Structure 1
Amino acid sequence: MKIISVADVGIKEAELQLTKKAFDEIELGASMRAKNQEIFGEDLTASELVHHIVRDVRSGGDQALLRYTKLLDGLDLNSKDIMVSESELQAAADQVDAAVLAALKRAAKNIFAFHEEQKPKSWMTYRAHGSIMGQEVIPLSRVGIYVPGGTAAYPSSVLMNAIPAIVAGVDDIIMSVPTKGGVLNPYVLAAAHMLGIKKIFRVGGAQAIAAMAYGTESIPRVDKITGPGNLFVTLAKKEVYGHVDIDMLAGPSEILILADAEASPKYIAADMLSQAEHDPLASSILITDSVDLASNVRCEIQDQLQSLPRRETASASLERNGRIIVTENIQQSVHLANYSGPEHIELLVKDAFHLLPEIRCAGAVFVGSYSPEPLGDYFAGPNHVLPTGGTARFYSVLNVETFMKRTSIISYTRKALDEVSDDIIRLAETEGLEAHARAIRTRRDNIC
Structure 2
Amino acid sequence: MKTLYKYLNNENEHERVCIDITDDACEQVSKNYFLILASNVFTKLGDTLSNPKTVLTWLMSYVNAPVYLISLIVPIRESGSMLPQIMLSSYVSQKAIRKWIWVVGSLMQFLAVASIGFIALYFEGVQAGWLIIVAVILFSLSRSICSIASKDVLGKSIPKTRRGKLKGYTVSVSGALVLAAGLFLLYKSKTEATITFYSTLIFFAAAMWFIAAIIYARIKEFPGAVTKPEQDKPSVLSKLGLLKRDKPLRDFVIARSLLLCSGLTAPYYILLAQNNIGKETYLLGLFIIANGIASIISAPTWGKFSDKSSKNVMALAVLIASFLGIATFLIVTYSETIKSIIWVYPVAFFLLGIAHGGVRLGRKTYIVDMATGNERTDYVSISNTTIGFILLITGGLSALVSLVSIEGVILVLSLFGLLGAYKSYKLPEVE
Q: TM-score, normalised by structure 2?
A: 0.20
Q: Kindly indicate whether structure 1 or structure 2 has the higher relative contact order, using CA contacts under 8 Å at least 6 residues apart.
A: 2
More strand by share: 1
Higher helix share: 2
Q: Which has the larger radius of gyration?
A: 1
Normalized against structure 1, the TM-score is what?
Answer: 0.19
